[in-house]
Copies of this chain bind each other. A is one copy, B any other.
Amino acid sequence: MLHPSVIEQTRISSCPRDDTQPNNDMQLLMDVISRLNGSYALLVKSIYYPGQLVACKKGSPLILGLRGSEHAQRLSPRPSMVGLQSPTRNRLVGFQSQRTDGINHGMECFLSSDAAALVEHTKDVLVLDDGDIVHISNGDLCFFNVQIDGETGGMTPRRKNPELTRLDMEVEQIMKGGYDHFMEKEIFEQPETLLQTMKGRVLFDDLPISQPRVKLGGLMDHLDTIRRCGRLVIIACGTSYNAGLACRPALEKLVAMPVSMELASDLLDRQTPIFRDDACIFMSQSGETADTLCSLEFALKRGALCVGITNTVGSAIARLTHCGVHLNAGAEIGVASTKAYTSQIVVLLIMALALSGDRISSIEMRNEIIQGLESLSEAVETALKLDSKISALASSLENEHSLLIFGRGSNYATAVEGALKVKEVSLMHSEGILAGEMKHGPLALVDEHMPILVVATPDSLYSKMLSVIEQLKARGANLIVVCSENDDKIISAAGRDAVLLPVPSLQEYLQPVVNIIPLQLLAYHLAVKRGHNVDQPRNLAKSVTVSEES
């Protein structure tokens, strides 16, 4: 709480609402901004301008939350600033503004980089654009947008009328609801979140062939344009990239277009050639991932059709793409992404179904996938019953240094994503390896001491995976195998000592959704048993909204 005398001073320098020019302290901020390179979201307080706060952003997200009855009519109460703790670490700490005379005049202000940090205080928010400056002083709340003059390089601030948005998020979503950790809650939520993701988008009724069985409102007008593109380029980071990897075979098969995968930072590093006839799919849970966002700007400049898949309505990627799909998976709080991953796969699959909807040759496969989607939630529910078995497995592995995970086809992604989860939360060196590359190096690591997990559910590559298991056994490996129930061939190949993690069998392109469940649980239990902070792993942030600038 600021000292009243300080507040008194502030009133003098506050900017009157009808003024179209910023005052001195704003000018100072613009001077600072003009010298900054790269992305930022800044909240500036100064002892020279007490009782005031100036906020600005470029690239990184910044959201202003407003609470109180008046704000819709009048955006200038007389706030002061109070430091607030966000419910999870790794977000910009927000500031709460209140009148300091002790009387509640009806409005408080909150600033944060993430809507989830605001929702327990208010649902009414203003999403700041690049160049926006918010000036909160004890008397007023003013908005400017600063445009750089192309000729002089000078900055011209213009008064801006901000647009209020209502958050589509419930407080329960950011509570643990009886679970010990957000990650655990979000893993167990998946049967429900997957249904939410499919809701209204997949029609499970027996429809005549002429009628489309999937509907993606946000893509409807662009399906034909995407089909006419030369290739699909999936651009993402971390877990979102892995979700793309899981669906690449399905997209290639159903849509019969070349599908390129790009890690967003690598695309920027390489300045990858992107063409006007590319359809680029940007995936990010938060919709604010810095490298993905920069890649989006890169692709927009080159005229590519840009499709967004995010979990956050109103996020930068959702706003800047030409079209897109929301995951509807609900807020994800745990830093290690779980439910967003499975929803991303389902959305990409639905997109593959929509894009191939006019192809007679793929009717059968489309129907199989739709049938599979109908039982997906139940299959995930069944897989979650492995929890106690996996908890015991985690106990036996907790002192290991390494874990190798082998998969191929769609389940190469399962291996990579499983390894990423183990890395992130349990801090164990885990690596996902393409089973087909095993003989080109990784096999040297295999002996009776190295824990190895193999994903070998029945699909078109089943016999290849069986052969992989045989070869690993021949080198004395002790195996953990994700397989289908009562798979005698696998059971006999993996040997008596193997730990089997049986999961329900689905159409092969859906299998990665089910197969990742035991790996998510394994990462979670390993983290708990190794005594690490599950929801806020060492060194990591939920949304990586900064990137290395060159």
Contact = CB atoms under 8 A, between A and B. Distances in A.
Interface in A452-496: 460-465, 467-468, 475
Contacts of A549: 463-464, 467
B256 A444 contact: no
Contacts of A475: 538-539
A408 interface: yes
A447 B252 contact: no
Contacts of A439: 540-541, 544
Given A252-B270, A263-B434, A402-B429, A441 B423 contact: yes
Contact of A468 (B231, B427, B444, B548): B548
Contacts of A260: 258, 260
A445 B463 contact: no
19 contacts: A238-B441, A239-B440, A252-B270, A252-B272, A257-B273, A258-B260, A258-B275, A269-B464, A291-B436, A404-B429, A423-B442, A424-B441, A429-B431, A435-B548, A443-B539, A444-B540, A460-B550, A464-B549, A467-B549
Interface in A501-550: 537-541, 544, 547-550
A249 interface: yes
A401 interface: yes
Contact of A537 (B249, B402, B444): B444
A441 B540 contact: yes
A431 B442 CA distance: 10
Interface residues of A, number: 71
A279 interface: no
Nearest to A472: B539
Contact of A412 (B266, B540, B548): B266
A271 interface: yes
A308 interface: no
A18 to B, nearest CB: 44
A307 to B, nearest CB: 18
A30 interface: no
A401 B424 contact: no
Contacts of A544: 439-440
B444 A548 contact: no
A434 B266 contact: yes
A447 B539 CA distance: 9
A436 B266 contact: yes
A437 B263 contact: yes
A446 interface: yes
B273 A256 contact: yes
Interface of A: 230-231, 237-239, 248-249, 252-253, 256-258, 260, 263-266, 268-273, 275, 291, 401-402, 404, 408-409, 412, 420, 423-425, 427, 429, 431, 434-437, 439-447, 450, 460-465, 467-468, 475, 537-541, 544, 547-550
Contacts of A257: 273
A269 B436 contact: yes
Contacts of A264: 436
A221 B463 CA distance: 42
Given A238-B440, A401-B402, A427-B445, A231 B248 contact: no
Contacts of A538: 444, 447, 475
B237 A440 contact: yes
Given A260-B258, A425-B444, A539-B444, A269 B437 contact: no
Contacts of A429: 401-402, 404, 429, 431, 445, 450
A424 B439 CA distance: 10
Contacts of A447: 538
A365 B513 CA distance: 46
A501 B52 CA distance: 50
Nearest to A237: B440
Contacts of A548: 435-436, 463-465, 467-468
A106 to B, nearest CB: 40
A408 B444 contact: no
A232 to B, nearest CB: 11
Nearest to A291: B436
A341 to B, nearest CB: 12
A436 B263 CA distance: 8
Given A401-B402, A465-B548, 9 more contacts: A258-B275, A265-B437, A266-B436, A268-B436, A269-B409, A429-B431, A429-B450, A435-B548, A475-B538
A21 B467 CA distance: 37
A549 B463 CA distance: 7
Contacts of A425: 444
A468 B539 CA distance: 13
